Chain A
Amino acid sequence: MERKIRVLLAKPGLDGHDRGVKVIAAAMRDAGLEVIYLGLRQTPEMVVEAAVQEDVDAIGLSILSGAHMTLFPQTVELLKQKGAGRIILFGGGIIPQEDMDKLEKMGVGKLFGPGTTTGEIIEYIKSATRGRRKEEAIF
């Protein structure tokens, strides 16, 4: 049976602009992905806890308030702590190039700016998650 790609989407931080994240959620569903949407004002702790329980392949954070340099690093750190470093952390929002470069060095995946198509994001998720999950020994 083909394994479904599971993606967790959330909006950390204080702002409530969820138009983009909802459009992407709908597009991912229509592209055959299973999308777990957490909603607004999620702390990195809440995001990582849900990601572990849901055993997702990727986490997408939408941040438009400018707090990306606080929230992405915290999430990366927590994922490492929980041994869930294989989960791809990607994001969207208004993030200047130099911040993108810094975040990438910290282990954050691709960050998408305004004007990105949903197709590009879905393509990225499909290729980035391919083969990433190493089957662990169960017995």
Chain B
Amino acid sequence: MSTKQKNTEILYQFEDKPSFVTVFGVSFNYIIKFIPLSVSLPFLIAQLSGLSYQQALNLISMSLFASAISSLLQATKKIGGPGILAPSNYSTPFFAATLAAVKIGGVSLVCTMTILAGVFQIVLTPLLHKFKIIFTKHFAGFILLMMGVWLGSLGVKEFFQPDQLGQLILHANFSVVQAASSTVNGKLILVGFFTLGLMCAFRIWSPFRYRLYCLLIPMLIGWGVSWFWGLIPQAILQQIQQTPWFLVPHFLMPTWSFNFAFLLSFLLAGLLMTFSVFALCTAVLEASEEKSQEINMKLVRRSNFMTGVGIIISGFLGAAAQAMEPGSIAATLLTGALSKRIAYCYALLLCLLAFCPHLFSYLLSIPAAVNGAAVLFLSAGLFLSGLRLLDIAKMNEGQALSFSFALLIGLISVVTPEIYQQNYNEALYFTEPAFVYGLVAFIIFSIIFTLKMRKK
């Protein structure tokens, strides 16, 4: 029997109706943090597949539309969605596979394979219920923990080496701008630390109202400081001026192509996405009023189904897979605002941005260090959500060992990436080996120890 308990950390529940200003402001948390990511990937795809500047802008607009649709699918109960706030963005498990596919077969191959992955995810949905041994709270916690680590490693790279990552700009030649000297780099890192400090301070000290903007306000301040300190390269500022204000996007009508070599990596991405949806959805449900001893698998299945549908729609729109993103769920949990209205507002803002490249090109000028600070902050939130779900204090010896071993196996690939990289080949691209190997180890050890417990 399940017991329900209210979580005082949550300020607005799914069905709550905050004021329009609050909804609008909180939606901007997601816009400012995730638009650069949403824009960067289609931009890279366009660059790799040799699309023109206009076509690249169009591809970005289509990606934004796909994200908006995917967010709405998760938020709307009437059409069969779970009715949760899960702002969608570019789906990270597909990242490596998408880039590899675009190099070989262009946008048409990416679209076909994305649709197939979406179908595969829908096929997997009923299995979530059948494999209850695997889909436990501990497993959800471990996935979140590993996602936190993986996101953290990305954040660390952005944070500490902003000049190496550079900043993408919307440019006719698709050039990647490198931030200049080591002095600039040092200043950027300082700004990153300042932004991270502000985020922590806002989350802990700020009263109720401002806690909702613990991502938005520090990022805006960090961005502003970088601007006034002259840390944003002139080339970016000039290109923003040249980017058109309005653009009427048109359907790309992608052609279809298929390459068997990429099937496995896209199916694996679909599988990983299913695991992610399971963990993220569990975390959101746990944080909400519906906190209970058992996972609400019905909502998880609905969410996974809608994620699959969203990915298929992305493919048909000519965009890469768009789905709920770990960082956006971490932002939801940290701000404590779960209201579905935020999802609607977020979707509306995405659609508006799709018509206005000039605005999203501004967002691309956010320095990597400021972005990195936000990613670090979000990764910490995700990591802790994972820890809470794992409930280590109640683990038996077998569960404790499987958790610790899997964590070690997963983490070593982040610290020493060359260990696993030698096993790569073109058809088996993983976005993050730490995540994959950690999960595989956790599943294997958990099964072994579950069998033992059943025997007892």
Genuine A/B complex: no
Interface residues of B (CB under 8 A from A): none
